[in-house]
Amino acid sequence: MTQAPVPPSVAGAWREGDPPGRRRFVTGTQALETGNAVPFTLAYETWGTLNSGGTNAILVEHALTGDSHAVGPAEDGHGSPGWWDGLIGPGKAIDTGEFFVVVPNVLGGCQGSTGPSSPHPQGNSWGSRFPAVTARDQVAAEVVLADALGIDRWAAVLGGSMGGMRALEWAVSEPERVASLLVLASTAQASADQIAWAAPQLHAIRSDPGWHGGDYHDIPGAGPHHGLGIARRIAHVTYRSEPELAQRFGRRAQDGEDPLHGGRFAVESYLDHHAGKLSRRFDAGSYVVLTESMNTHDVGRGRGGVASALGRITARTVAAGVDSDRLYPLYQSQEIADGVEGAEFAVISSPYGHDSFLIETEQIARLVKLLLG
């Protein structure tokens, strides 16, 4: 069995001096929920044109290992193709001939926004010095971006999974600035089950000898690549459904390998592929920071509980879940819809589990048109 080459210490992280690609940048200083303050840069990409009244802007929020490159091919500065290419563009559900689409890389990320792999003001990388950030902190940083772009009110805010957390937080934190809201395969607060699934992923990364307490970015060749790969394997199982894995792989052996003699099953090879792919395009430090931001997600914190927080939303709202999602089950989307006055609940029917919000383009397009129609 051939092992993939070990990537550089900041595998996949965009760093100053790298080709910017389509990225633009905005800077600010953010006071955090923990009481700390962090100077930050947010990377973002845009498509379409902002109208004279600034009323046609749509904010799209990416999931855990996504970034600002929602549209377009892999190219200089962007190692992966757009993750929502089928939905955003001329004549598509999010029509860039009509709307101005903004996609930021999240605070704590590794694709141009400030995170553990970014330079610290006092030298070297942030590493372990990077503070804990919450979805609320991330949205507050995106408010700086909206202000810089001259957007007083989003025509819509959309997001799935971790992106759905931020979309929901936008509508709760800044209700007057969100006209409509689409939350896909997400939740109003992280559940015990979701936190439990995250725990072995975090342990895998932090137990890797290459972790160096989170300060590996400036050590040549270091980095918890194996731990990140294990974390991705665990996570990817929760992103798909048992029936899909059974149908696609069953108990079939990987081509040319025999599990009775140390070889892999096909499903193991599939997980190995995704582990290696992520380790080459994402920073483990950001994976830890962002996973913990998902764990602490709770729109009701300090607001009298979830019901009280959802009651603050004035946006036209659609909350949609996936019928085969074992990580963010349907009832969590139903609870969001039930808590927002006039909200609509929708079910995405798919065998692909949680990842369906990235795969079921036609069904998502119908929801977008429902929201914007």
Q: In the predicted model, what is the mean pLDDT of residues 155-166? A: 98
Q: What are the distances in angstroms from CA 44 to CA 12, 59, 331, 373? A: 17, 11, 32, 26
Q: What are the distances in angstroms from CA 206 to CA 10, 118, 125, 224, 258? A: 15, 19, 18, 8, 32
Cα–Cα distance measured from residue 47 to residue 102, given in angstroms and rounded to the nearest whole number: 7
Within 10 angstroms of residue 361's Cβ, the number of other Cβ atoms is 15
Q: 208 an active-site residue?
A: no
Whether the predicted pLDDT of 16 surpasses 90? no
Q: Which of 78, 272, 354, 355 is catalytic?
A: 354
Q: Which of 9, 125, 161, 356 is catalytic?
A: 161
Q: 325 an active-site residue?
A: yes
pLDDT of 4 reads: 38
Helix (H) / strand (E) element for 345: namely: strand 344-348
Q: Is 343 left (phi over 0), alpha (psi -120 to 50) or beta?
A: beta
Domains of the chain and CATH, by start: 24-190+297-372 (3.40.50.1820), 194-293 (1.10.1740.110)
pLDDT of 10 reads: 58
The pLDDT > 70 percentage for the chain reads: 97
What angle in degrees, to the nearest 10, is found between the helix axes of 162-173 and 135-149?
A: 70
Q: 161 an active-site residue?
A: yes
Q: What are the distances in angstroms from CA 13 to CA 127, 352, 356? A: 13, 28, 26
pLDDT of 372 reads: 92
Instruction: Name the residue type at position 311.
Output: G
Q: Which of 283, 325, 333, 350 is catalytic?
A: 325
Both tokens of 219, joined, read 């050590």
Q: In the predicted model, what is the mean pLDDT of residues 205-221? A: 95
Cα–Cα distance measured from residue 207 to residue 71, given in angstroms and rounded to the nearest whole number: 35
pLDDT tens per residue, range 313-355? 999 999 999 999 999 999 999 999 999 999 999 999 999 999 9
Q: In the predicted model, what is the mean pLDDT of residues 200-220? A: 96
Helix (H) / strand (E) element for 344: namely: strand 344-348
